[in-house]
Amino acid sequence: MDQRTVLVKDVNKGPFDEAVLKALRSVCRAPLEGPTDWRIGVRNESGEVYRVIYLSSMEEAAAFSERLEHIGFIDELPQDSQFIPGCDTTFRQKWEIGEAPPDPMGSRLFWHIGKVLFNAGGALMLVGLVAQVSLLFRAAASHGRLRADLTLAMAYPDLPTAWIPESWVSFAACGVILIIGWLLLVESERAMKPPAG
């Protein structure tokens, strides 16, 4: 794989370099053999070409270009002003050079929402289970004199128990909230990371 790419001396690597290498590995699994027909440059966040990729055929170049576009890069070939001598084309990330990358699909916001939902759903289920155990202990302590349909509101009339789940429906609703939160966490973390090659 080292034969297929070189770093440009004295130029900082882009923070997305590992994603670029994964994209290269997904396309070129064998060592480079024969002449290199295509040279693709990759720019860092400052706009400098920091890595050059060597590909042996147009098919490899097309497949690698497609992978780069899939992970958020733009082919600069149509932009003559961006042409770099020694490269057949160059790629940069979709945001403007010098600007901070945008938050993909608001993923950080979704991550925070997911965290709140996950914690809330889990906490409600835990409190509900503790409450049910407390009712069982009260029933045991009364030697069965308590009603079988005793609710938290009946057992603790002075406490705000309306938000605590008791029925299987309310526990299921808390479970749905927890699962939605977990899915938002997983998907937003995936969106904030470079896709695997």
Task: Quote the domain boundaries for residue 83.
Answer: 2-93
Q: How far apart are CA 135 and CA 146, in angstroms?
A: 9
Same domain, 153 and 134: yes
What is the H or E stretch that residue 121 is in? Answer: helix 107-141
Domain count, the chain: 2
Residue 149: pLDDT band with limits 50, 70, 90: low
Select from 43, 70, 93 the last residue of a domain.
Answer: 93
Same domain, 78 and 115: no
Same domain, 166 and 115: yes
Same domain, 33 and 87: yes
For the chain, the distance separating the N- and C-terminal CA atoms, rounded to the nearest angstrom, is: 14
Same domain, 87 and 6: yes
Average confidence score pLDDT of the chain = 77
More confident residue, 134 or 123: 123
**CA-to-CA dists, residue 94 to 41, 99, 105, 133, 189, angstroms:** 15, 10, 14, 55, 20
pLDDT at 99: 47
Q: Is residue 98 part of a domain?
A: no
Of the ranges 123-127, 134-138, 149-153, which one carries the lowest mean pLDDT score? 149-153
More confident residue, 141 or 64: 64
Same domain, 9 and 89: yes
More confident residue, 114 or 94: 114
b/e string for 56-95 if b means 16 or more Cβ within 10 A? Answer: beeebbebbbebbeebbbbbbeeeeebeeeebebbbbbee
Q: How far apart are CA 7 and CA 32, in angstroms?
A: 17
Same domain, 23 and 48: yes
10 Å Cβ neighbour count for 21? Answer: 17
User: No. of H helices and E strands in the chain?
Assistant: 5, 5
Same domain, 79 and 115: no
Burial class (CB in 10 A: 0-12, 13-18, 19+), 127: middle
Select from 93, 117, 150 the last residue of a domain.
Answer: 93
24 in Cβ contact with 65 (< 8 Å): no
Select from 74, 93, 112 the last residue of a domain.
Answer: 93
pLDDT per residue as tens digits for the range 39-58: 899 998 888 899 998 888 88
Q: Is residue 121 part of a domain?
A: yes
Same domain, 171 and 115: yes
3-state secondary structure of 54: strand
The full length of the chain comes to 197
10 Å Cβ neighbour count for 37? Answer: 13
